[in-house]
C-alpha cells in the first residue's frame, strides 16, 4: 500500500492516475486552498462525513478567508486571519485524512512517505500567464528535505523550461537532483541546497498517451539515494480516441 502525500492537490488528478494504474494507496494528506477544488476532491476521494464537514461553519469560514485572499482578491480582516491561523490545523484533522489549506502552515509527516506529488501553480511559468515565476517550489523542496519520501513526482507546464532563460528549471534540477540527473551523476559542484535524489525529467504530451488533447507538461521523477532508481518513461502510443468519443451526451 503506497502512502501518498500530494500538495496543490486540486481535484485529485494524481490520485486518479494511481487508481487507473491499479496502484493501491493510502491518502496520508492532500492540500489545496481553493474551496471548489476541495469540494470536488472530497466528492471523489472523501467520505460522506467529509462532505458534511464542508457545510459546517468552521470549514466555510476558513474556505471563505482563503478564497477571498488568494482567488477573488478581496482581503479578509486581520481578525478573520487570526481566527483561521488559530483553528485551521485542528479543523484540517477532522477529515478522514489530513486535509490542510495552506502548504506553508501544514504539518510535514516525520515518517517518510512512499510517494510525494507536487504541482506548484503554473501561472508563473505558463505562456498564458505573466511568467513571474513561483516561490511555492521552495515549499515542496522543504517537504522533500524534511520528510525524505521514497519517490517524488513534479508536474508543471512546458514554459518552466524556458522561464528566466532556463535559470529557474536549472535551479529546480540542481536542488532536486543532488545525486544524478537523467542518469548522469552530479559529482561536482553540487548545489548547497540540494537533496540527495536521483531525478529523471522529460516533456510528455497527452496526445501521445491516449488522451485527445495537445497538452505538453514537464515531469520530474525523483528516487531517494537508497532506492532503486532504474527508470524509463512510458512509450508513446497511437491516438485512437477523439474528443467526441469521451464527451457525455448530456
Where is mean pLDDT largest: 56-65, 119-128, 227-236?
56-65
Establish whether 31 is a catalytic residue: no
- The larger pLDDT score, comparing residue 214 to residue 72, is at 214
The whole-angstrom separation of Cα 2 and Cα 114 is 6
Task: Tell me the percentage of the chain whose pLDDT exceeds 70.
Answer: 94
pLDDT of residue 194: 86
- The larger pLDDT score, comparing residue 166 to residue 140, is at 140
Element counts in the chain: helices (H) and strands (E): 8, 8
pLDDT of residue 43: 97
pLDDT of residue 17: 93
- Render pLDDT for 188-208 as a digit per residue (tens, 0 to 9): 677 888 888 999 999 999 999
Q: Which three cell numbers mark 114?
A: 512512499
The whole-angstrom separation of Cα 8 and Cα 15 is 12
Active-site pick, 122, 144, 218, 221: 122
pLDDT above 50 for 132: no
User: In sequence order, what DSSP letters do the residues of 129-147 get, joined into one string?
Assistant: S-----THHHHHHHHHHHH
Q: Which three cell numbers mark 220?
A: 520530474
pLDDT of residue 124: 53
pLDDT of residue 86: 97
Instruction: Give just the sign of the alpha carbon dihedral 13, 19, 21, 23.
Output: positive
Can you list the alpha helix ranges (DSSP code H) found in the chain?
13-20, 35-45, 48-53, 57-67, 78-92, 136-147, 167-176, 243-246
Fill in the DSSP letter of residue 68: I
pLDDT above 50 for 130: no
Q: Which three cell numbers mark 26?
A: 493510502
Judged by phi (left if over 0) then psi (alpha if -120 to 50, else beta), residue 221 lies in beta
Q: What is the CA radius of gyration of the chain?
A: 19
Lowest mean pLDDT among 103-112, 140-149, 180-189: 180-189
Q: What is the mean pLDDT of residues 78-102?
A: 96
Task: Round the average pLDDT of the chain to a whole number and report it.
Answer: 90
- Render pLDDT for 209-243 as a digit per residue (tens, 0 to 9): 988 999 999 999 999 988 888 899 999 999 998 98
Estimate to the nearest angstrom the gap between the alpha carbon of 188 and the chain centroid.
Answer: 30
Lowest mean pLDDT among 26-30, 121-125, 158-162, 210-214: 121-125
Amino acid at each position: 500500500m503506497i502512502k501518498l502525500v500530494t500538495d496543490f492537490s486540486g481535484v485529485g488528478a494524481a490520485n486518479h492516475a494511481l487508481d487507473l494504474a491499479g496502484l493501491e494507496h493510502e491518502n496520508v494528506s492532500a492540500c489545496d486552498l481553493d474551496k471548489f477544488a476541495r469540494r470536488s476532491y472530497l466528492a471523489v476521494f472523501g467520505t460522506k462525513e467529509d462532505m458534511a464537514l464542508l457545510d459546517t461553519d468552521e470549514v466555510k469560514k476558513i474556505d471563505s478567508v482563503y478564497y477571498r485572499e488568494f482567488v477573488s482578491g478581496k482581503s479578509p480582516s486581520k481578525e478573520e486571519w487570526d481566527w483561521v491561523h488559530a483553528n485551521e490545523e485542528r479543523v484540517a484533522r477532522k477529515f478522514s485524512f489530513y486535509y490542510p489549506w495552506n502548504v506553508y502552515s501544514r504539518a510535514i509527516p516525520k515518517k517518510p512517505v512512499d510517494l510525494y506529488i507536487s504541482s506548484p501553480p503554473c501561472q508563473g511559468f505558463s505562456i498564458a500567464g505573466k511568467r513571474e515565476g513561483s516561490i511555492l517550489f521552495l515549499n515542496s523542496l522543504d517537504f522533500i528535505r524534511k520528510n525524505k519520501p521514497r519517490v517524488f513526482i513534479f508536474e508543471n507546464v512546458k514554459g518552466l523550461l524556458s522561464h528566466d532563460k532556463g535559470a529557474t528549471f536549472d535551479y529546480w534540477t540542481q536542488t532536486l537532483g543532488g545525486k544524478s540527473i537523467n542518469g548522469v551523476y552530479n559529482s561536482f559542484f553540487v548545489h548547497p541546497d540540494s537533496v540527495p535524489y536521483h531525478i529523471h525529467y522529460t516533456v510528455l504530451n497527452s496526445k501521445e498517451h491516449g488522451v485527445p488533447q495537445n497538452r505538453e507538461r514537464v515531469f520530474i521523477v525523483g528516487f531517494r539515494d537508497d532506492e532503486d532508481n532504474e527508470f524509463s518513461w512510458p512509450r508513446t502510443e497511437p491516438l485512437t480516441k477523439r474528443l467526441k468519443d469521451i464527451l457525455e451526451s448530456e
